[in-house]
Amino acid sequence: MEVLQDCIAGTQLHVNGRRLWDSLMEMARIGATPKGGVCRLALTDEDKAGRDLFVHWAKEAGCTITVDQIGNIFARRAGRDNSLPAVLTGSHADSQPTGGRFDGIYGVLAGLEVIRALNDHQVETEHPIEVAIWTNEEGSRFPPAMVASGVFAGVFDLEYGLSRKDQTGKTMGEELARIGYAGETPVGGRPLHACFEVHIEQGPILENASTTIGVVTGAQGQRWYELNLTGQESHAGPTPMTLRRDALLGAAKVVQLVNEIGLRFAPLACATVGMLNVYPNSRNVIPGQVFMTVDFRHPDDAVLAQMDAALREGVAMIAVDGKLEAELEQIFYYAPVAFDINCIAAVRGATEQLGYTHRDIIAGAGHDSCYLAQVAPTSMIFVPCIGGISHNEIEDALPEWIEAGANVLLNSMLTMAKRT
């Protein structure tokens, strides 16, 4: 209804795309790498410098700043009624070691640009508006990924988050204190009316379809497995073919099986064997043992369960066939995320009114919004990135895509925060 009224009233606002681009490029100087990317690992001096610049800009735009105990930053623009829960956007400011100029930080600075644009147009909103930086989304320095939004959403407890260690043994808690971002505000419990996150797609679908905006309706569920196949090592010469218990031959059939399962549930399924350790891995010994991994992804939990059943059945048959022992263990499960229908409608409505090409899309990677969706109405907006390439220094995007995503973010937030 609100979306419709906005359409009739013709109230679409626009960000200043040039200012957003310039801010992204200025931020990209912090931790800049020779190939044009950035390296701002979580809670390093570079991450601190990036945070400081954001806080400086947000204060300049009139925001008040809150930092919670796990270093999440909230920049708040007051609404008309500040007793109402905020409409929040945000993303992460940390990067992979070979990161790009847009992953995460685009969602942060697009949020800042929303606030700047609201200031330019002297727009007052009913609800307050907030822009967040979620600490350590990448999980590159401190595994796992999305740990601070996870603590915020109650998926992990605070002690778990603060005690995550990097490879040198430093904890997140120590490093937060060192860079001055160990805040005092308790993590979580913040009332949120709606949450949005704009992000580069990190895949090729939008660009290939010449589509500017991805209306993200959810995120894939995941099941990860480890499989140990045990046969018997024996000499490659004297052992007849019919008497072998070849674990690698079984593994090869499992690779084939996993690929078939992925194709059977196409186009939304992904099924991958990414790791294979062969023992003893010697040219004239029949392999007696194989350790391998399987990674299944699908946006529908019921389909994921069917894939699971197909894997278990197939592996059992392969084991009997090859006289092997098979130990299959699911070691990680991540439930599919369905984003909030009202947030999705706000994004779709804003996109249509702005006249951008769009399609629905499922997030293939994890994002802070996947955890936020557990505690607040949430959805995401994707824009293309060139060649679908991300987590790479050459990650790139066209200025018009960057501007379009921020325009959709602005108007989606306005739909939920309500202009006065």
Interacting residues toward Zn ion by CB under 5 A: 103-104
Residue nearer to Zn ion on the CB measure, 28 or 257 = 28
Select the residue whose beta carbon is closest to Zn ion and give its number. 104
Q: Minimum distance from CB of 216 to Zn ion (Å)?
A: 13
Residue nearer to Zn ion on the CB measure, 103 or 201 = 103
Residue 68 has a CB neighbour count (10 Å cut-off) of 24
Q: Minimum distance from CB of 137 to Zn ion (Å)?
A: 6
Q: Minimum distance from CB of 140 to Zn ion (Å)?
A: 11
Dist. CA 386–CA 332, nearest whole Å: 31
Q: Minimum distance from CB of 100 to Zn ion (Å)?
A: 10
Q: Minimum distance from CB of 57 to Zn ion (Å)?
A: 20
Q: Minimum distance from CB of 321 to Zn ion (Å)?
A: 43
Residue nearer to Zn ion on the CB measure, 93 or 248 = 93
Residue nearer to Zn ion on the CB measure, 103 or 308 = 103
Residue nearer to Zn ion on the CB measure, 258 or 383 = 383
Residue nearer to Zn ion on the CB measure, 103 or 246 = 103
